[in-house]
Amino acid sequence: MTNEFIHFDKISRETWQNLHRKSRAPLSAEELNSIKSFNDQINLQDVVDVYLPLTHLIQIYKRAKEDLAFSKGIFLQKNLKKQPFIIGISGSVAVGKSTTSRLLQILLSRTFDNAKVELVTTDGFLYPNAILEERNLLNRKGFPESYNMELLLDFLDHLKNGQSYQIPVYSHEIYDIVSHEKQDIEAADFVIVEGINVFQNPQNEHLYMTDFFDFSIYVDAEVENIEKWYLERFMKLLDLAKNDSNNFYHRFTKQNEEEVIAFAKNIWKTINLVNLTDYIKPTRNRAEMILHKSENHEIDEIYLKK
């Protein structure tokens, strides 16, 4: 084990799946298919083996947080306001963060009676393309400086205080922030915040986003596998854009496949891989848990902070 993982316990999938009494997945195969990303291979067995034990562990963390808040209230001789349990989920582009987040949203809402679970992706906190262009950052989209981190921290601060908040909406179809559209995020029992940048905060040395998280997950895989998944996803996005001239990817459907693949490989190499190597992966050990995926998207190892 490298030094980087020295403060993590490495748990095989076989060991992990036996840490929780077997039960049926609280969702159907159809529901699972409707929430998984394009090329994700997740199935109901993965839900039972990996995600049900994870949900049980989150229950333990939530109970510990509530016990601590209760004891703290007694010590301070005041009633502390109930706070949402905030979960951060990070990892590379195309590694499957969205599937993990949407699945956890369903599992938490069905494990905890009447729990309200909000899901937020940090794409909405990207600066609009017009601002990125003005700052000559369009080719740095997804890099730390392309996000309005102050707005993101303000959002997390409001959430932590049990206040609702309106956040911008990002569309992958138009590859930009949707002007005049906002997503209302209510104070909830759980809030899942998902994005490549959720363990970073280069604009504010005094405050990290991780300071707001009660539990955090990094979805990990070998670089060559992530590149393969990224290219598969790129081709699927093109397929969906064929008949929609407003779609950002429509322009690529006019090119031959070889050109498109060469273009996508170049985007991976010059943008996504650089971002992963320089900014995303170095934050991996800030997570409470690392879910490692093998070649076919299957989670084979779990690392839990000691």
> Rounded to whole angstroms, how far apart are CA atoms 106 and 58?
14
Residue 96 annotated as binding site = yes
Q: What are the DSSP calls for 83-113, one per residue?
A: --EEEEEEE-TTSSHHHHHHHHHHHHHHHST
Q: Is residue 197 part of a domain?
A: yes
Residue 93 annotated as binding site = yes
Residue 94 annotated as binding site = yes
Residues 177, 182, 187, 191: what is their CA dihedral angle, to the nearest 10 degrees? -30
Which structure tokens are listed for 56?
């049980």
Q: Is residue 3 part of a domain?
A: no
Q: Is residue 196 part of a domain?
A: yes
Strands of the chain (E only): list them: 8-12, 85-91, 117-121, 165-171, 176-185, 190-194, 215-221, 289-293, 299-305
Residue 92 annotated as binding site = yes
What CATH code is carried by the domain that includes residue 114? 3.40.50.300
Arithmetic mean of pLDDT, 263-270: 94
**Chain segment 274-300, per-residue pLDDT in tens:** 999 999 999 999 999 999 999 989 999
> Rounded to whole angstroms, how far apart are CA atoms 7 and 2?
10
Q: Is the pLDDT of residue 94 over 90?
A: yes
Residue 91 annotated as binding site = yes
Residue 162 annotated as binding site = no
Q: Is the pLDDT of residue 38 over 80?
A: no
Residues whose CB is less than 8 angstroms from the CB of residue 68 and which lie 6 or more positions away in sequence, other chains included: none
Q: Is residue 213 part of a domain?
A: yes
Q: Is residue 278 part of a domain?
A: yes
> Rounded to whole angstroms, how far apart are CA atoms 60 and 199?
22
What is the per-residue pLDDT for 118? 96
Residues whose CB is less than 8 angstroms from the CB of residue 253 and which lie 6 or more positions away in sequence, other chains included: 238, 241, 242
Arithmetic mean of pLDDT, 34-46: 86
Residue 97 annotated as binding site = yes
Q: Residue 147 has what DSSP assignment?
A: B
Q: Is residue 261 part of a domain?
A: yes
Residue 95 annotated as binding site = yes
> Rounded to whole angstroms, how far apart are CA atoms 17 and 7?
22
> Rounded to whole angstroms, how far apart are CA atoms 303 and 171?
33
Band (203; pLDDT cuts 50, 70, 90): low
Q: Is the pLDDT of residue 1 over 60?
A: no
What is the per-residue pLDDT for 18? 92
Please tell me the pTM assigned to this model: 0.94
Q: Are 166 and 183 in contact (CB under 8 A)?
A: yes
Domain encompassing residue 258: 8-305
Number of domains in the chain: 1
Q: Is residue 2 part of a domain?
A: no
Task: Give CA angle at 221 (219, 222), nearest 5°.
Answer: 155
In 3D, which of 161, 44, 64 has the Cα closest to residue 106? Answer: 44
Q: Are 302 and 292 in contact (CB under 8 A)?
A: yes
